[in-house]
């Protein structure tokens, strides 16, 4: 599983010209699923997203998590995070999970994170053409991959 986690002042998703979801201060999380991802990877990434200390404390250090600040979360599926650009100029997506598996994993990720916290959680529309808008705070943007399977 791969994520791009962005600290935001606000973020929104529009689908077919209509607002689909919106959050205030918190995290925009773009998620891509790999074919071998299962519950172990979901649990690991949920813990990482909720506990990643990328919000500033009173001393100006990144010491607080989204849980600490009671921030919002916007979870958006984005299979292109696994785009392979090593050959040619058109990305290949063979290392992304197939549509039905990715949809199931994404839904399980959303369910798991909702069960782990009481924060406001919004989502994108899986499989739809979306326009994602954000105000990146900092800017703080991290790419986080689950550990390689042993």
| Active-site residue list | 78-80
Nearest 10 degrees: CA dihedral of 78, 116, 140, 126? 20
- Tell me which residue has tokens 């201060």: 25
d(CA 40, CA 7): 25
Residue 31 pairs with which residues in a beta bridge? 3, 77
Task: Please return the burial class of 132, using the count of CB atoms within 10 Å of its CB with bins 0-12, 13-18 and 19+.
Answer: middle
Q: Is 129 strand, coil or helix?
A: coil
């Amino acid at each position: 599983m791969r994520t791009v986690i962005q600290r935001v002042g606000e973020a929104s998703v529009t689908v077919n010209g209509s607002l689909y979801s919106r959050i205030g201060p918190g995290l925009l999380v773009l998620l891509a699923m790999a074919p071998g991802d299962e519950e172990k990877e979901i649990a690991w990434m949920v813990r990482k997203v909720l506990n990643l200390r990328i919000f500033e404390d009173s001393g100006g250090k990144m010491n607080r998590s989204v849980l600490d600040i009671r921030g919002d979360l916007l979870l958006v599926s984005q299979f292109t995070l696994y785009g392979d650009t090593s050959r040619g100029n058109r990305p290949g997506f063979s290392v992304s999970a197939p549509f039905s598996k990715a949809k199931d994993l994404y839904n399980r990720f959303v369910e798991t994170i909702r069960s782990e916290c009481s924060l406001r959680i919004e989502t994108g529309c899986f499989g739809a053409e979306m326009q994602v808008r954000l105000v990146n705070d900092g800017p703080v943007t991290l790419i986080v991959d689950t550990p390689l399977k042993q």
